[in-house]
Amino acid sequence: MDDRVVISGIGSVTPLGITTRQTWAGLLAGRSGVDRISLFDPSDLPTRIAAEVRGFDAGAYLAPKQANRTSRTSQFAVVAAREAIRDAGLPSDLSETEAAVILNSAVSGFAEVQEATEAFHSGGTRRISPRFVPSSLTNMPACEIAIDLGVHGPVNASALACASGAHALVEARRLVLSGDADVVLAGGADASITPVMFAGLSAMRALSRRNDSPAEASRPFDADRDGFVFGEGAVVMVVERLSRAQARGATGYAEILGGALTSDAFNIVAPEPSGRYATRAITRALRAARLDPGDVDLVCAHGTSTRANDRTETAALRQALGAAADDVAVSAPKSMVGHLIGAAGAVAGLVCALAISEGVIPPTLNYTTPDPDCDLDYVPGCAREQSVRHAFTNAFGFGGQNCVVAFGAI
């Protein structure tokens, strides 16, 4: 029985573009998607920059009724899902396919709750839209994909903070191997660049305050990092058995070899300082993938650009990979797209899949001043042409949720 599960299609909406090829080209060029916030006036906030999806017009992609009823998160998710099935060579109507959707999110609905709250306080109950509740629920992006594409199999949405998007890929593989679905649309989406979100994160001092140099604000593993850059977007992948993809002529990008989840059980925000439970997630993922540390060519890092996270992730990589850590390329896409929260792990999956498929690794932008605690090969500045046979991605979320996914060449 074929137990090889692959990514056969990828769709994305990110701060670097509204297609996967635009996003990938931006990543390889080392282009930053960070700029001053345009979705609202940020003048009164300590942080006034974000990684927005600029120029996105829902009406250009969705019918008027669909665009009006859906949240920005759902709009991104549907557009990405459509691209993913086109890329995989699947029909736009999946009603005759044993298909499923696992589209995870971390803060989906936050913007809609803020908007409705403001409307209520300014005009009472009559100002609340009948679309408010359904558009604000965490499972709505997944359900909107199902409605749009005619998916009648399992439709799930889980929230694992910043590990959400990576977790979707692990669950998609399990769903395919269990026989519950032949095709799974899996990934993550979030779009919550709002005044209240930024006020809250600023109160935590989690965000970079490099307002005068937005493109230099997200600097994972650099000694002068001062916080992460909040972003928005969606990445959706088609996950299926290799034999099924090949039967219709789909080439595919990479195999999902396995994954693992652990919990720090330490703090709702800060990582466990020693990195032992992140290390455990990496070790278990490699074991599930039947890989030794020396087999790994690339790590797509969580790399948030916060002091504690980058230090802890480096320590976890050294503990898990041992001497092999010095020979592994570590790429941090958040340096260019910012932190897409629930979609972040899916962006990292995109990087692993395309790096394996195309033999080139995106750089880590803004790594200019080495930090003694962050001393790995972060592929600084420029993309690197290199054969990548095996890769894994780290995703470490608030609450201490660690998810690691391993990938291999087809």
Same domain, 182 and 37: yes
Contact 340/232 with Cβ under 8 angstroms? yes
Asked if pLDDT for residue 127 goes beyond 90, the answer is: no
For 303-312, what is the mean pLDDT? 98
Q: pLDDT digit string (tens) for 225-283?
A: 999 999 999 999 999 999 999 999 998 999 999 999 999 999 999 999 999 999 999 99
Same domain, 194 and 118: yes
Same domain, 218 and 265: no
Residue 403 backbone phi and psi in degrees, to 5: -130, 130
H or E element that contains 278: helix 276-289
For 309-352, give the DSSP string: HHHHHHHHHHHHHGGGGGGSEEE-THHHH-B-GGGHHHHHHHHH
Instruction: Please report the pLDDT score of residue 390 as a whole number.
Output: 98
Q: How far is it, in rounded angstroms, from Cα 138 to Cα 157?
A: 7
User: How many Å from the N-terminal Cα to the C-terminal Cα in the chain?
Assistant: 17
Catalytic residue among 302, 374, 390, 403: 302
Catalytic residue among 167, 339, 352, 390: 339
Contact 205/359 with Cβ under 8 angstroms? no
Same domain, 36 and 137: yes
Looking at 247, 282, 309, which one is the last position of a domain? Answer: 247
Domain enclosing residue 63, as ranges:
5-247
For 63-80, give the DSSP string: -HHHHHHS-HHHHHHHHH
Number of domains forming the structure of the chain: 2
Q: pLDDT digit string (tens) for 48-57?
A: 999 999 999 9
Instruction: Please report the pLDDT score of residue 1 as a whole number.
Output: 56
Same domain, 241 and 372: no
Same domain, 305 and 197: no
Beta carbons within 10 angstroms of residue 131's beta carbon = 14
Contact 6/242 with Cβ under 8 angstroms? yes
Residue 252 lies in a domain: no
Contact 216/367 with Cβ under 8 angstroms? no
Q: How far is it, in rounded angstroms, from Cα 79 to Cα 18?
A: 8
- The verdict on whether 339 is a catalytic residue reads yes
Q: pLDDT digit string (tens) for 373-395?
A: 999 999 999 999 999 999 999 99
What CATH number does residue 262 fall under? 3.40.47.10
Same domain, 371 and 228: no
Measured on CA atoms in the order 14, 362, 365, 261, is the torsion positive or negative? positive
Residue 96 backbone phi and psi in degrees, to 5: -100, 10
Residue 193 lies in a domain: yes
**Which residues partner with 207 through β-bridges?**
228
Q: Dihedral angle at the C-alpha atoms of 34, 352, 88, 66, nearest 10 degrees?
A: -30
For 283-315, give the DSSP string: HHHHHHHT--GGG--EEE----S-HHHHHHHHH
Looking at 220, 247, 274, which one is the last position of a domain? Answer: 247
**Which residues partner with 263 through β-bridges?**
401
